[in-house]
Chains A and B, each alone.
Chain A
Amino acid sequence: MRLSLRSRFDGRSGGRNLALLVGVLAVAPLVLAVLGLDYYTIVLTQALILGILALSGDLAWGSTGIFTLGQAVFFGIGAYAVGELAKHLGVTDVLAASVIGLGVGAFAGVLVGLFLFVGSRVGELYVGLVTLALAFAAERFATGWDVIGAYNGVPGIPGPTLGPLVLEYGPTTYYTIFALFVLVLYGAYQLNKSQFGLVMRAVRDDGERAEFLGYRRTTVQIVVFSITSALAGMAGGLYALSSGFVSPSFLGVTLSTQVLLWVVLGGRGTLVGPLLGLGLVYVLGGRIAEFQPQLWPVILGLILLGTILYLPGGLIGRRVVPLRKRVAVTTAAAPTGGGDRV
């Protein structure tokens, strides 16, 4: 059984879309200022940070087929680490927070990755269930542990700085985060485009086949899982600084499944798709959730169902090649063999 919604899109085709998105995001605060919607610059800053989480989810599930339902665990670990360090030791530098988030995320990712992939060949469903359980357990654990604030999490985290600069909410913070976001996006794009990206898709589409080509599937999965956990941790660290608090829900199932939702909605393995998915769910959804908090989960569910049924490639994914074209190609390419008798 495969849980994958396969998208035929790969890293090579998305460059123009990504450039367009980066261009729009670069001018967004100016446009918002002109329209008198300055508040949305702060919303957009949070969205950019969650964008890093979306990209990590897309690299894991979209490009490599690691069906992780626990991406938020690493986000939360990064958030708690940075939150506590900022509060008690005054580590509020966004670059330091990024490095700390990457570090603790990667460390946790390697541990969980080793547990998930070494020796087990049970497939996507197993990975999904174990990571789901992990997310559930992590949230429960954080809720009960006094040292990290238990139910209250970590409130009152000082705001972000960059070197000697205190970053004001608004455009200053936005553009600092934007720079980091673009860096991650560029890295993810290059990774997809590299030959390793090809290997990731090979492991996703038929992992056993990849092994019979000589690839060590387990190693590829652990490497990708660690990279994406590191990115999730980085996103968590930045989120802790920019929102000023950390709560146990940062580690949990709800945020984890949201990551999958962004990826499914936008289109697996496309990078730009999951970012659009995030934009729709977070920015638009945020408005709906304010007015209709009970209705919003239902709407989310319907969106997810509709996407799976009618847009299996997501908003950005390529459409399936029409059958007629496939047949035409097949018959036109009938090979002519050598003439020798065997």
Chain B
Amino acid sequence: MSEAVTSAASAAPVLVARDIRKVFGALVALDGAEVSVAKGEIVGLIGPNGSGKSTLLHVISGRTPATGGTVTLGGRDVTRAKPSDRIRAGLSIKFQLARVYLDQTVADNLLLAIQSQAPLVSLMLSRSRAAAASTIDELLEGFHLTHARSQLARELSHGEQQWLEIAMAMALKPTVLLLDEPTAGMSREERLATGERIRAARERCGVLIVEHDLDFIRGLCDRISVLHQGKIIASGTPAQIEADPRVQEVYLTRV
């Protein structure tokens, strides 16, 4: 684990969100929050309810425009870019509630992710799904979904839908993977397996995880940042974070 931290720290960051402000009317949701992720690094973002975790994720993904601050992806300023352009710049996101296409098959959900950047004309002309078949097979196998290949996504269990969504996020071959509560509603076994998948993903990209469950990310993350009232109040290794008195003050409640 310590080597990973060292190598990650030396690499150039693939995602930097700097001095992010977000104001909803009179409510200041984010007040100069910042976070950065390097290739090969898994960064956790924790904080009590209402601390601004989701808002920060929305600002990074482009769902919500920031009131102030900058977001860069691989050195490119995407603060004002549309979500689709951020995805094309290397970002990928798994939503908190799995948002897979319930009325399409599992394989077609993956296909949608795999081919999202192909020219529309080529999508119109190529009817064969064969070209993507081996990629789909790999993803299905990696996420224990091979049996469900031609099932509709709505027929999957809750945990499997979460996995499908993570698989779709991975299929985009991102440089930055955003995971919003990747283990929400999962059984213990499913959590363990999800942890394995995320660990495997770090070889290719940087990962930012927003989680409630401190136990889950403690063993997984190289660094953890703690968000409180729209500001990062602490950032460091999991051990440092757990020993930090400021963190204990605002974040004693373990889920």
Q: Chain A: which residue is nearest B192 at the CB level?
A: A337
Q: Which residues of A contact B117 (CB under 8 A)?
A: 214
Distance A10 CA – B189 CA, assembled complex (angstroms): 35
In the assembled complex, how far is the CB of residue A200 from the closest CB belonging to chain B, in whole angstroms? Answer: 10
Q: Within the complex, what minimum Cβ distance (angstroms) separates B253 from chain A?
A: 21
Q: Point out the residues of chain A lying under 8 angstroms from B160, CB to CB.
A: 333, 335
Taking a contact as CB atoms under 8 Å apart, the answer to whether B192 and A213 are in contact is: no
Interface residue? A324 (CB, 8 A)? no
- Within 8 Å by CB of A214, from B99, B116, B187, lies B116
Within 8 Å by CB of B190, from A195, A198, A337, A340, lies A337
Number of A-B contacts (CB under 8 A): 134
Nearest B residue to A9 via CB reads B103
Partner-contacting stretch, out of A64-72, A77-85, A215-223: A215-223
Quick one: which of B120, B155, B168, B187 contacts A213, CB cutoff 8 A? B168
Whether A340 and B192, one on each chain, are in contact in the complex, defined by CB atoms closer than 8 angstroms, is yes
CB-CB < 8 A to B104: which residues of A? Answer: 10, 198, 201-202, 205
CB atoms of A195 and B103 under 8 A apart: no
Contact for B148 among A201, A321, A333, A342, CB less than 8 A: A333
* A330-B155 contact given A191-B124, A198-B108, A337-B191, CB 8 Å threshold: yes
Give the distance in Å from the alpha carbon of A337 to the alpha carbon of B188 in the complex: 8
Q: Which of B113, B124, B152 has the most CB of A within 10 A?
A: B124
Q: How many residues of B contact A (CB 8 A)?
A: 56
Q: By the criterion of a CB under 8 Å from any partner CB, how many residues of chain A are at the interface?
A: 43
Question: Is B123 within 8 A of A194, CB to CB?
Answer: yes
Contacts A214-B88, A333-B160, A335-B160 given; does A196 touch B155 at CB 8 Å: no
The complex places the Cα of A6 from the Cα of B101 at a distance, in Å, of 13
* Assembled-state Cα–Cα distance A330/B161 (Å): 11
**Chain A: CB-nearest residue to B189:** A337
A8 in contact with B103 given A195-B115, A198-B108, A214-B87 (CB within 8 Å): yes
Among B87, B129, B163, B172, the residue within 8 A (CB) of A195 is B129
Contacting pair B87 A213 (CB below 8 A)? yes
Min Cβ gap A333→B in Å is 6
- Known A206-B99, A342-B220; contact A335-B190, beta-carbon cutoff 8 A: yes
Does B61 count as interface, using CB distance less than 8 angstroms? yes
Collect the chain A residues with CB atoms within 8 Å of residue B194's CB: 337
Which A residues lie within 8 Å of B99 (CB)? 206, 209, 212
> Taking the complex as formed, is B193 at the interface, i.e. its CB lies under 8 A from any CB of chain A?
yes
Closest residue on chain B to residue A318 by CB atoms: B103
User: Considering only CB atoms, which chain A residue lies closest to B124 in the complex?
Assistant: A196
Measured between beta carbons, the chain B residues less than 8 angstroms from A342 are 191-192, 195-196, 216, 219-220
**Which of A190, A330, A337: most chain B CB closer than 10 A?**
A337
- Interface: B159 (CB within 8 A): yes
Binary CB contact string for chain A from 1 to 16 against chain B (1 if under 8 A, 0 otherwise): 0000010101000000
Tell me, rounded to whole Å, the shortest Cβ–Cβ distance linking A161 to chain B: 32
Q: In the complex, what distance in Å separates the CA atom of A10 from the CA atom of B108?
A: 12
Nearest CB on A from B74, distance (A): 15
- Rounded to whole Å, the gap between the CB of A270 and the closest CB of chain B is 13
- Cross-chain contact A212 with B120 (CB below 8 angstroms): no
Q: For window 282-323 of chain A, which residues contact chain B by CB distance below 8 Å?
A: 321
User: A326: CB under 8 A from chain B?
Assistant: yes
A202-B101, A338-B196, A342-B191 given; A333·B116 CB < 8 A: no
B73-103 contact mask (Cβ, 8 Å, vs A): 1 or 0 = 0000000001110011000010100010111
Given contacts A212-B93, A321-B155, contact A335 B192 (CB under 8 A): no
Q: Are A195 and B192 in contact (CB under 8 A)?
A: no
Please determine whether B120 and A223 come into contact, CB atoms closer than 8 angstroms. Answer: yes
Q: What's the Cα separation between A201 and B103 when bound, in Å?
A: 9
B134 within 8 Å of A (CB atoms): no
Contact with B along A267-282 (1 / 0, CB 8 A): 0000000000000000
Cβ contact within 8 Å between A333 and B103 = no
* Chain A, residue nearest B117 (CB): A214
Q: How far is the CB of A329 from chain B (nearest CB, A)?
A: 5
Known: A212-B87, A213-B113. 14 other contacts (CB 8 A): A6-B103, A193-B127, A195-B115, A195-B129, A199-B123, A205-B103, A209-B101, A213-B112, A219-B120, A220-B120, A333-B155, A333-B156, A335-B190, A336-B189
By a beta-carbon cutoff of 8 Å, the part of chain B in contact with chain A is 61, 63, 82-84, 87-88, 93, 95, 99, 101-104, 108, 111-113, 115-118, 120, 123-127, 129, 144, 147-148, 151-152, 154-157, 159-160, 163, 168, 172, 187-196, 216, 219-220
11 contacts between A and B (CB under 8 A): A8-B152, A194-B124, A195-B115, A195-B127, A196-B120, A205-B104, A209-B99, A212-B61, A331-B157, A336-B189, A339-B192
